[in-house]
Amino acid sequence: MIELNSDLPAEIVPLSWLIGLWEGTGVVHYAVGDEIREHEFGQRLSFTHDGLPYLNYTSYTWSLDPDAGSSQPTNASPHVVETGYWRLSRPSHDGDSGPGMLPGVGPKPYATAEEVETLRNADGGFDIEVSLVHPLGVSELYVGQIKGPRIDLATDAVLRTASAKEYSAATRLYGLVDSKLLWAWDIAALGQDLRTHSSGSLSRVE
C-alpha cells in the first residue's frame, strides 16, 4: 500500500522519490562503426510538480574539461537539454482535462491512495508514460514501469523533424542506490542498432 503525502496529487506518489533537484556527472560512450565517441559531462536534473497528476522534468548538461577538475557549470560549454513529463499510464476519464484547453467533467479520477493502488500491474509496480522533447527536432514517447526505486523505460514512438539526426529507438533505466540517482540510456541512432550510449550518477541537491 502506498502512503499518501497530503501535499502531492495521489497519482504522483509512486514517482515522488524523484521529486527534487539532482546534480552530478556522466559519460557518453557510443560506438559508431569502428569509432568510439566518448564525452564527459555534468548534469543538473529536475523533477517538479504543479498540483497536476504528472511530474515536470528538465535535464541540462554541460561539457566537462577533463583538466579543469570541476563538475560545476561555471564557464563550461552547454551540451544537451531535454524537457518533458512523467505520469502513471492509466485510462482517461471524463474528469481529466483536455484535449486542448477543455476542462474535465465531474470528479477527478484516482484522487485517493486507494484508487491509485488499483493501478498496480501484475508485477507489483505501476505502468508509466514519459514524454520527452529535444530542441534539435526529436520527440520521444516512452512506456515502462516504476517499481519502488527502479524505473525501466523503452520508446513506444520517436518523432523526428526533417532536420533532425537519425535516431530511431531508446531504452532508459533509473535507480535509487545509496541515495544516488543512477541512470543509463541506450540508443539506436546514426545507423547503429540499440547499444550503450550514456550513463550518469546524480546526488540530490538540498
User: If you average pLDDT over every residue of the chain, what do you get?
Assistant: 92
Q: Which of 50-54, 69-73, 171-175 has the highest mean pLDDT?
A: 171-175
Beta strands in the chain (DSSP E): 20-32, 35-48, 55-63, 77-88, 126-134, 138-147, 150-160, 167-177, 180-189, 195-205
pTM (global) more than 0.85: yes
pLDDT at 184: 98
Instruction: Give 110-145 pLDDT, tens digit per residue.
Output: 999 999 999 999 999 999 999 999 999 999 999 999
Beta bridge partners of 153: 144, 172
**Does 10-205 carry CATH code 1.10.287.130?**
no
Buried b (16+ CB within 10 A) or exposed e, 109-125: bbeeeeebeebeeeeeb
Give the rounded percent of residues in the chain with a pLDDT score beyond 90: 87
How far is 158 from 138, CA to CA, in rounded Å?
Answer: 7
